[in-house]
Structure 1
Amino acid sequence: MELQLQLYFYHKEIEQSPEYVFNVLNDDQKIIDRVQKLTAITYNSDVTNQRSVGTEGILVYNEANINTEVIFYTDNRRLEFESYVPAGRLWTMVNIVPVEGRSELTISTKLITDSPVSFALYALKIPRVKKQFNDIVGRLEAGE
């Protein structure tokens, strides 16, 4: 039985343009600089647009290699990717709707697992996940 656990959800209008937000999302170094414990991003192919659908890569997070795949991308509007962790899959979506020079920003991350134990263990991580994502979003809002 597949279990889904919402780890993070954010929906708010921010004072940054969609282009600004995606300038961060499309720059691996800017992502590494913002995500604690993320030290590297590599790709399994030499594609010119690393955010194109089907692009596979490896995130080095907390010294562990995490396989990741882009499952949906629309330039300056939406990015969805899945990360494969021992507990299951982490599905993350960032969606932006332009609003008169600002952005309506939605971020969602959830764990998809078959394991009730993993579900319970990840439920305990929600406060830490929320804090980390809120810090990242706060920096985006501030234009950092």
Structure 2
Amino acid sequence: MQQLPPTLRRRTTVTGDEADAHLGLQPSERYHQIDPAPHNLAYLAHLDQTVQLGDPLASMLALLPCTESYGLIAQKLAQAGVASGGYADWVAYYVGDAYQSAVTWSWATVTQLLQQSQSATIDYAGIYATSYQHELTFWQMAEN
């Protein structure tokens, strides 16, 4: 957010705590003791390297797959009727208007930054594709 021009910064925040949505899944008491897997560390390294470029468009594109995928997966779970039981809080948070507006804002911000971009040296498409590949790996590992 700090890299964005003031006119593009999100003025409203997502209501509720995202951590509460995850805790709604009722993880084991020991979930804090689980070391990040290599694919998680690779993803975090990619995000860190991208943000360190100091380019707001690159940073938004690196984060967009994570932001978007949670909303998309929650929508599919809700459509499939999985929005009950242990997943209810998680699905409700990510299909909620506040979170979905954050996804819409992210896409609108990326679009505006693309229109204003003057950097010919940053591989924006590669950053986005790499983040989405990491995100897909994250979800594939979660499914197993």
Q: Shorter-chain-normalised TM-score: which range?
A: 0.3 to 0.5
Q: TM-score, normalised by structure 2?
A: 0.35
Which protein is richer in strand relative to its size?
Answer: 1
Q: Which is bigger in relative contact order (C-alpha 8 A, separation at least 6)?
A: 2
